[in-house]
Amino acid sequence: MPYRSPWMTEELEDLRGLAHDFLSKEGVPRMAKWATQQYVDREFWAQAGKLGLLSPTVPEEYGGIGGNILHQIVIVEEQSKLLDKGWGTMVHSGVVTDYIVKYGTEEQKQRWLPGMVAGTIVGAIAMTEPSAGSDLRSITCRARRDGDDYVINGTKTFITNATTAGLVIVAVKLEDNPDPRAVTLLVVEAGTPGFRHGKPLKKIGQHAADTAELFFDDVRVPAANRLGDEGAGFPALMARMPQERLIVGVVGVVQAQKAVDLTLEYTQQRTAFGKTLYQQQNTRFVLAECATLAKAGRIFLDHCIQEHVEHGLDNATAAMVKWWISELQCNVVDKCLQFFGGYGYMEEYPIARMYADARVQKIYGGANEIMKEIIARSLDATSHR
């Protein structure tokens, strides 16, 4: 009997079906085009918005369906099953939307959320810098208060949705605050003078993903665009990280299972030495191992999803999800690719694109080495109780 996640409901199944049908019809045929141009068409965002597939956690009074993270997870799962990694809705809907819902003023919510739900405004978040990745305390992007405005100077890099974003949440440090943890979040809207993006970055995978550098040259932002209080950005960022890392785990589990399914189908058809690859004992044993890993990852992930919905996932467990499942994903995809032989190295085969797309899962959302440090610190704290 097929495995069913314990948190799944009839309503969520209906949403899954809607997402599946839309992505199959409107997304899959466009993947090659998106990979070539290195971004997803704005038209596609708007189509998804009309169907309620963007920012599902937005309350109804701001145009959303008033769902929770489970609604977003279902959409992410279908995207991961059907599309190459590229459409930045996981950042738009799973990260940026929730910052505005959680920390935005009423005026900010009214101004931005309806457009994000409709897909007319694409959201991005800018934390990483050329010399500051997982260590947010090292960011050098600065802002100074000038009357009713902030003036931003600095550079951000590896930003998802960078060229198509209508708004970007930017993590900055204020010039008059020496505290390295005193990060402030400012929302910069497209078209603001001095704000520009670079050319799409050429990546080894996730070719359809809109990823670029952002530049801020005396960018003047109204104080009304600040999210939360001055200097309160660091705890806000840390509070939202568990959900971001949970979503990384969702992608990892779905991709691992997809790799097993693709490889099972291929090895049952491909012959060598007078029988199918699947009839070879090594093939069967390796796929048995991979299927076990994928299912173990699924069960652990589902436990963490339920924990997050009911109580909020703690940082250490979220770090476990992120590092272990991303490692599992890369391991399973690598083992499965081997059975495709030379074809596994050809981009037209999904397993090859999955292999290239998977590698960055161990980097973004906090490098896996940082995840292990977070876990180790939690163990140390427990041992001193």
**Which residues belong to the active site?**
244
N- to C-terminal Cα separation, the chain: 44
Compute the Cα dihedral for 154, 159, 162, 166 and give only its sign: negative
For residue 276, which phi and psi values (nearest 5 degrees)?
-70, 160
Angle, to 10 degrees, between the axis of helix 315-338 and the axis of helix 281-310?
160
Nearest to 173 by CA among 138, 147, 223: 138
Nearest to 169 by CA among 70, 236, 110, 120: 236
Spatial separation of the C-alpha atoms in residues 102 and 108, rounded to whole Å: 11
Compute the Cα dihedral for 88, 335, 29, 200 and give only its sign: positive
**How many CB atoms lie under 10 A from the CB of residue 110?**
13
Strands 167-174 and 142-146: parallel
- What is the token pair recorded at 178? 């020496």
Report yes or no: 139 and 108 within 8 Å, Cβ to Cβ.
no
Element (H, E) at 323: helix 315-338
Report yes or no: 53 and 22 within 8 Å, Cβ to Cβ.
yes
The residue whose two tokens read 């209508």 is 166
Spatial separation of the C-alpha atoms in residues 315 and 331, rounded to whole Å: 24
- Beta-bridge partners for 155: 215
Residue 40 DSSP one-character state? -
- DSSP labels for 158-175? EEETTTT-SEEEEEEEET
